[in-house]
Amino acid sequence: THSYTKYNSWDKIQSWIASISSSNPNLISKQVIGNTYEGRPMTILKLGKKSSSTKPAIFMDCGIHAREWISPAFCQWFVKEALSTYGSDSQMTSLLDQMDVFVLPVFNVDGYDYTHKSNRMWRKTRSKKSGSSCIGADPNRNWNAGWSSSNPCSDTFCGYSPESEIEVKNVADFIRRNKSIIKAYLTIHSYSQLLLFPYSYTYDLAEHHSELLKVAEGASAALRSLYGTRYTSGPGATTIYPAAGGSDDWAYDLGVKYSYTFELRDTGRYGFLLPESEIKPTCEETMLAVKYIAAYLLCTS
């Protein structure tokens, strides 16, 4: 059975999506935005008090990279916390009353399933192209943001063209369709304990650099207040490494101002193999950072 404190298989997550999305019609619904390369459904959960009028929204995806298992664990945790604390937690209640939160629990479903069944360290999609023996592209190098070509056998292969990966195209299409209401884009990764924002594809500072840094530092402080976990905030290029084709840079250039990449626990002791015993503390502290960003949006909108 599904557990919020275990790394659930895709089958368990899929049945969890079906049950959680029909558990509270006033607060949650689901929409399939397309299928993956191997035909698995990409399902977005829409959280928020049902309203006849359109509300501003936050978009959050997890599991772009298959081996970063703490990431989908956090999206599942977020959905559970949202539904269970709505009405009791004032921040969550006002968030869901005034905004919608679109949650994509597992972005790279084929890759996630592959890490459970075959290769725990797989990162990319599982797409195949005639003429190459190498499989998959890095879905965080495949966005049309400073995109340039690279080696198909690399773990960070950027794909044959921007949005060549159907998973990326499905999400990019959804965000484009909803760009007038999406105020923030959060993409959850691991590991390193970083809160990154644009740009990674250039060393140039983003137009809203100072504000993005201020919000990131506030969110990191909120996160640190629970267990003392230390995060570093900054632009991707100088804080982790320069790289093109990332989702946060693409969303920012589309006009989604508050665009952040979270790199969750840890800093290398376990890395991608973070023990299940750390799921709860990692998720609880990350909730504080996400709620900080959401509260900032509500206060400044």
Interface contacts to ligand 9B3, rule CB under 6 A = 65, 140, 189, 196, 200, 236, 240, 243, 245-246, 248-249, 261, 263
Ramachandran category for residue 152: left, alpha or beta (phi over 0 → left; psi -120 to 50 → alpha): alpha
The gap from C-alpha 30 to its chain's centroid, in whole angstroms, comes to 17
Q: List, in sequence order, every residue forming a beta bridge with 203; answer none if it has no partner.
A: none
63 interface partner picked from Zn ion, ligand 9B3, none, CB below 5 to 8 A per type: none
**Residue 214: how many CB atoms within 10 A of its CB?**
13
Amino acid at 208: H
In the complex, least distance from residue 130 CB atom to Zn ion, rounded to whole angstroms: 28
Q: What is the number of other CB atoms lying within 10 angstroms of the CB of residue 245?
A: 27
* Other C-beta atoms lying within 10 Å of the C-beta of residue 15: 14
Q: Which stretch binds Zn ion (CB under 5 A): 26-34, 89-97, 108-116, 183-191?
A: 183-191
Question: In this chain, which stretch among 66-74, 91-99, 210-218, 245-253 interacts with Zn ion, using CB under 5 A?
Answer: 66-74
Which of ligand 9B3, Zn ion, none sits in contact with 48, Cβ below 5 to 8 A by type? none
Residue 61 touches which member of Zn ion, ligand 9B3, none, C-beta under 5-8 Å by kind: none
The entry of ligand 9B3, Zn ion, none that residue 240 binds, CB within 5 to 8 Å by partner kind: ligand 9B3
Helix (H) or strand (E) holding 218: helix 209-227
CB 261 within 8 A of CB 197: yes
Q: Does 65 bind Zn ion (CB under 5 A)?
A: yes
Distance from the first to the final alpha carbon of the chain = 41
Residue 196 interacts with, from ligand 9B3, Zn ion, none (CB under 5-8 Å by kind): ligand 9B3
Query: Nearer Cβ to Zn ion, position 157 or 183?
Result: 157
The nearest distance, CB 88 to Zn ion, in angstroms, is 11
Residue 51: partners with Cβ closer than 8 Å, 6 or more residues away: none
SS3 state at 19: helix
Residue 265 interacts with Zn ion (CB under 5 A): yes or no: no
CA angle (193 as vertex; 189, 197 as ends), nearest 5:
65
Active-site amino acid positions: 263
Of 181 and 226, the one with the shorter C-beta distance to Zn ion is 226
Min. distance of Cβ 66 from ligand 9B3 in angstroms? 11
Structure-token pair, residue 257: 């101002």
Nearer to ligand 9B3, 56 or 271 (CB): 271
Pick one of 126, 189, 257, 291: the residue that binds Zn ion (CB under 5 A): 189
Nearest distance from C-beta of residue 240 to Zn ion, angstroms: 8
The answer to whether 230 and 224 are in contact (CB under 8 A) is yes
In the complex, what is the shortest distance from the CB of residue 28 to ligand 9B3, in angstroms, rounded to a whole number? 28
The footprint of Zn ion (CB under 5 A) covers 65, 68, 189
